[in-house]
Structure 1
Amino acid sequence: MCLLARASVLALKCASASSFGPESCVSWFERAFLRSSERGLCFGFLRLSEYSCARACFWVADLKLRVVGSSKAFCARASFEFGLDNTSNTLIFNTPNTLTIALYLYSLLHLLSSTAATTPPYTPTDYFLLNCGSSSNAMSQDGRSWDGDATPKFSPSNIGTTSSPSTATEQDSSVPGIPFLTARIFTSKFTYTFPVSSGPKFIRLYFYPANYSNFDGSKSYFSVTAANYTLLSNFSAFLTVSALVPRQSSLVKEYILNVRDTQKLDIAFNPSPNSYAFINGIEVVSIPNNFYIKGDRIPFLGIQQPVYIQQSAYFDNNTALETLYRLNVGGNDVSVNDDTGMYRTWHQDYVYIYGAAIGLVPHLEVPIRYTNETPNYTAPATVYTTARTMGQDPNINLRYNLTWIFTVDSGFWYLARLHFCEFQPEVTKENERIFSVYMNNQTADQEVDVIHLSGGNGIPVFKDYVLSVPPVDGLQSKVDLWLAMHPNVNSKPVYADAILNGLEIFKLNQSNGSLAGPNPEYVPLPSKQNSKMMLLVFAIAGGVIGGVFLISVIGFLIFRHRRRVRDSGASVVKSKSTKTNASSLPSEGLCRRFSLAEIQSMTNNFDDELVIGSGGFGKVYKGLIDGEETTVAIKRLNSMSKQGAHEFWTEIEMLSKLRHNNLVSLIGYCEEGDEMILVYEYIENGTLANHLYEINTSGNICHISWEQRLNICIGVARGLDYLHTSTQQGVIHRDMKTTNILLDKAWVAKISDFGLCKMGITSDFGTHVSTDIKGTFGYLDPEYFMTRRLTKKSDVYAFGVVLFEVLCGRPAVNMRLEEEQCSLALWAQHCIKKKKLGQIIDPSMRDQISPLCLTVFTKVANKCLNNNPNGRPTMADVVVSLECALAAQDQQGYTSRC
């Protein structure tokens, strides 16, 4: 006897988003009535709660359901199968038992919603996939069909005489066959022509720099132009691939160009002299108008200039972009098929996270409600339902920056698009999570409140910023671009936290239409021994990442219980004792411990040839770690040094708790026998003093420009402000001087040497710490020297001396000068009072400083040297003043309001 059951189910039918808008739709399974006479099985009314569709509004339609089976099958089967009959729109399944029918209905709901969700919200008007070097069509692993380029559809008619198809002699198993297996080789200029509509396009160039018949992949250098733009110049795919992190064998270069009314797009490949060009694949995809290049003003990333100074740039359709990074922050890779119709790839962000504090990665499958300002093709919903936040502890969050580092080419402007969406149920109102955004030592946004920007929970929003990365010494080079986020608790938000869901970084073309940057230096493959070590490292890293994910889930569950910001400010764990035992450190797990044997190996047994500096602590050596992939600075305590175990452990404790772009990063330490050694990140350009007045090995002073000096001062000021305000007590550096300011390869300032640091006072009745006098003459606060009362304003005084060193190009103390000139602080104050400051300005700077900038700069420097600490500004005030000085330098002729 057959069991017959019928169900009439109201399903969801997708309607056009353009017609109805991305609104929330209430839908019902009005009736899912299943009846079995043999089993007495009945499902009544089922309601699907409010269903927010991220891509379209849904209407209700009929879906016929047929149940087939027998009593024998009904009793025997413990699982069920279902399939979709495309010809009749009928779902057919074999019925098992009550549980599986319930599971079926649950699965049906998800099937309907996921089917709708996979429909791309954008359909490109132009879409071409060209498999170069192939004579036939082929299907790639992602299911896309590629045309061969042997036909004259996109290629010139003389393709057979001006180029040659070739196949890679060896195919890396990690590289997809299509389009990377074949290539088109050119020994002279060759042009592909695509018939396209007008408007913006993605151009993606696929390269696999392998060896092809009679062609060595490492010897290929060529240029690529398109639509009057230079995309690549003397480009080496081999060198570029060798420097990729993580290591890859192939790469895709993505560009955004606007095609005018010519109705065609020419992409030309031109080999460099005595070389050849090649290409494996070309992709051309249309982009919605006014999406990336919106034709309106975009705010400059950076300094808080006076309101009358314009802080925006105008980009129109004449601007070309190169995509450098597109990240699904806190989430997994998003493939081209899971994008919104433009076939973009979104990568994980963990490779670019800086430091040990990587935050948490919450993830919730919540409906995303797109808006007219953030349409449904902006980014996939999965980008907005994953994120990286700082963590569940406000005390920790307020002591570090959530930071990413990216390699870019200097000498270009960059567009950074940050994607935000508050999807955690705890954050639904304004002023619940507010944070600051910094890029390359500049303030992008002082207060970002995602709920305020978007209008509610589950509503995505993005913000664009433009920043300049100037050339280094007038030359293009590879430099670091920093993105950092930090809680802003000025308005006392509920949570001391920051959030980022997605990130895109684009390079903008120069005035000559070029997007081409220099080739990176060749990075050789690791040896077999190192390869085995890397496998071990990746295995360990996989376990760590899994652990972090578990911790993230746990942390998210206790989100509302442990992340409340106290009105009284963030409390601080009391300083640990200075025992020479790593387990006593609060930084355990954040700071790496090296053996003495490892240190000796890094330094070639402390070879003096590797010494790069020395100080009161001891000698500093240059070394390599992690299979000689990472350069570090190794500071070894001299047994004769006045500094000892206390300073050693103080520095470890401080740098393990504090993270900031303008503080040097501690990688690890060694404490074995009588040896006490610190291992830092290697800072390429040495100390600020080296570039102001100290003689280098060539017998010259390495002068830096005035604008560079201003930016360095701003960076140091921000670092000191972070020390003073990142904890309730605050941290007093106590030894601020130009030799403790390091400059990395991008000339970003890093405060170093934290051995004399002191925690500030926490008592409501105290304003200072009584302590022995320590520091460097020439920088000592007069009141601290006389009374032993140490305050944050002692650092301010020392920084005032640094400012005058920067301006005058001379050390804080010079005993070879006349008595009244020995102390720079006293001499500078005397010259300001007598209005003779011009006499002591660095001669190499006199023609570089605008009068208004000089006035603002000397005003704040002089305030820092006030004998009365109460008359000195805070470091936050100093930052603002220096930013005004930089604005005045850039905008001559404006009246200062600072």
Structure 2
Amino acid sequence: MRGRGSPHFALDSCKRLILSLLFLLAPLIIAEFQPADDFLLACGAGGGTALPDGRLFVPDSSSSAALSDCSSTALSSSAPPPLYRTVRAFPCPSSYVFHVAAAAQAGLLLRLHFHPFPSPSLNLSAALFNVSVSGVPLLSLFSPAAAAASPPRPLVREFYLKHNSSSLRLTFSPASPSTVAFINAIELFSAPDRLFSDAFTPIPSLFSFSDAPLSNHLLETVFRINVGGSFVTPDNDTLWRTWEPDDKYLQNPARAISVTFGNHIQYRDGGATPEIAPDYVYGTARAMNKGDSSNSSSPSNYFNISWNFPVPNSVHGFLVRLHFCDIVSSALNELFFNVYINGYPAYKDLDLSSQSSYTLASPYYVDFVVLHRSSTGGINISIGPSEHSLPSKINALLNGVEILKINGVVSSPNEDSRKSRHFGVIVASVLGCLILACAFMVLVVIMAQRKSRKDQMPQSQDADTWSPLPVLPGNSYLRLTELTTASPSNNPNLQLRVPFFEIVLATNNFNENALVGAGGFGKVYKGVLRDGTKIAVKRGTRGSQQGLGEFQTEIEILSKIRHHHLVSLIGYCEEQAEKILVYEFMEKGPLRDHLYGSRNPSLSWKQRLEICIGSARGLHYLHTGSAQVIIHRDVKSSNILLDENYAAKVADFGLSKLGTSTNQSHVSTGVKGSFGYLDPEYFKTQQLTDKSDVYSFGVVLLEVLCARPVIDQSLPWEQVNLAEWAMHWQKKRLLERIIDPSLKGKTNRKSLKKFGETVEKCLAQYGIDRPTMGDVLWNLEYALQLHERAVHQEPGGDSTYGPSDESSSSVLQVSTSAVTAMRDTSTAERHGKSSTDTVGLANKEAFRPGRNS
């Protein structure tokens, strides 16, 4: 067990003081984190190695982890720290297999220790190798000697991962037969609950991070900084981490002063814990140096303190965790300040009093997902005064920074694992259901009584009635709402309002067993209204600045349109600092889950074509079905949902943009969207058109055809980007080589050829060369008819992709009457007619015998 230091006093003179200290430290010792799984391996060692923090590393040869015979050991002749005096080397691929308990499936911390010390038997300085965990890359072409300083020093690489299997395989593979892989020590232990959650704010707020929850991604620690303090060694950290000082990253040091707190840090229920960061971090900080206003670098009290952290020189997403603890104020509500990341306002008017249950010296942390490109020159973090600060109380502070690189998903939880994980919760829920039912009955009665008085109360009072958290002056959410001019509160569609207590009833108080998804906006729950209607409830993350804009956009868009290929908005709730959207429930979930990453059965070619056609109809309606063009701006497979009959509906309009009219050529706006789907022309010019949706939909078509993610960094570099890789084969007219293996031999070659040509047009570099969504729809209908005609007329005779006798006809080749009919589609829908009927007439004309066949 890790020990905590205490002052050395003579027992006869300080006995009472020591007893008092032990009494104060007793709760901390009792509550110290004890991992369910704890593998500590001294690789190549002949005996146990004890560290100053009290932990014992056992030889890897005697551990429960399986070890390949393809290995050798070496002993250092120098005197590095004990853990780095032996090494296990591998001239060929070798693995450790760890058997982890169920508790570890919530998350694992993995630390790999390397030290390329001089050895007469092994050339460790020339080692170049790869490291993977259960097939997912951790380190690629890793050279410890190149990464270390000269002379070589020990290195530690730390990772956080989720793993839904009872065994974990850690593999070391030399890059070539002439080199070796090696490892000095391994730490693998179960992480505390909620060490990393799925709640974060994206920076900038112009991109959608990922379909998978953040906590399911592999995270690699890049920086861990004790701001304003000294080194924190593993024996003084609750999770045996190392925190380095911020001195070499601080910009313009004259603007900042170090602050040290001499009293107890007030950890509270529901907030930061010692496992999030130790009191050595929360007890030190950097604050504004206001005492030297004559300094030319800080001529007034209005300036920022900045840090710059050089991160890997490539395009990556990073998790940035900032730690705060108000150790400078003498009273509550004195400290308001702003936080900026890479120049973007990450947190405006941060009030630590309201975030820490109105307690001073109470720690608080917040997570951001930051898009980084090599041209930005690192991740820059700044803090500075807020306009809400009192002139005499202007200040800002920061206690700690963690930056972790976000890699691929190790394993995505499926429905079965979710059920297993929550089995104990289900049992407890059954035992407590009677109590819960009684509580809800009381809730309904109270709400009914308050409803009778509702007309006599101002609207704002109704919003405060059921607040689960204090909603007091100075709350960041309230200030954000007051500064927003387009609040849904002013929306004329008041009939869409859903009372908060109805949503609580429908979701069983947001029970985790009802959780069906999560994203940048928040979590999504399945619910059932009292009339039996199944609903999907999207609950915004409290305090998310991105969420408010998306919330308003969804209501503005979906309150104006209705279409059987667009997910319907049932209502919304804006009470008690909650932002909740209620939709119709789509039984089969996202299209993405039926293509890869789940146990759903493979879709047939006909099903895939019908899903693409339904999605295209929904997007075509957005572009042409109203006086204002609606550009979705986030078309991807996870935003196409399927009902119980596999009918497709487009969803998630939080990033959508309204044009002024259907004649407008483009909308100038900041770039928003998702990696892999983003229109390159829009990215370069920031001019958004409906052709940007066409490009994204073309990527979705490839996703449907190939059944793989659009960005997969675990693949060879030429295959990472699906659009680039697929177009390489499409231009060679060999697209059949990369289609979903379950489709091979089951697709009509002419149908597949037309599908590939459609995709190629959608992915044209310039929007002017891309078809409209109406054109795309016609060609998908044509591809389906080619497939069905082959099935009915030539069973088994024309099912595979091969050289086609079909002429290389234009994707846009349709009859004049068909064009006229399709252009009338949006008019028919505005007058209440079914778009399906109108489109059907157009398709009959476009694909009549003798044309394009």
What is the TM-score when the length of structure 2 is the normalising length?
0.44
Q: TM-score of the superposition, structure 1-length normalised?
A: 0.42
Greater fraction of residues in helix: 2
The structure with the largest alpha-carbon Rg is 1
